[in-house]
Amino acid sequence: MSSGTSWVVGINAVASAIENDAAHVREVLVEAGARNPRVAALEREAQDLGIAVRRVSAQALDGISGGARHQGAAARYEAARTWDERELPELVEAAAGRALVLVLDGVQDPHNLGACLRSAAAAGVTAVVIPKDRSAPVNATVRKTASGAADRIPVVRVTNLARTLRTLKDAGVWVYGLAGEGDASLYGLDLKGNVALVMGGEGEGLRRLTREHCDGLVRIPMPGEMESLNVSVAAGVALFEAVRQRAA
Sign of CA dihedral 71, 73, 76, 81: negative
- C-alpha distances in Å from residue 239, one per residue of 24, 52, 85, 111: 28, 40, 21, 18
Cα of 45 vs its chain's centroid, Å:
27
Separation of alpha carbons 166 and 162, rounded Å = 6
Q: Residue 231: name the closest of 203, 207, 192, 190 by CA.
A: 203
Cross-strand bridge partners of residue 174: 195
64 is an annotated ligand-binding site residue: no
229 is an annotated ligand-binding site residue: yes
DSSP states of 140-192 = HHHHHHHTTGGGTS-EEEES-HHHHHHHHHHTT-EEEEE-TT-SEEGGGS--S
> What is the rounded end-to-end Cα distance, in angstroms, of the chain?
34
Question: Which SS3 state, helix, strand or coil, does residue 31 take?
Answer: strand
217 is an annotated ligand-binding site residue: no
Q: Give the residue numbers of the binding site for S-adenosyl-L-methionine.
A: 200, 220, 229
Q: Give the residue numbers of the binding site.
A: 200, 220, 229
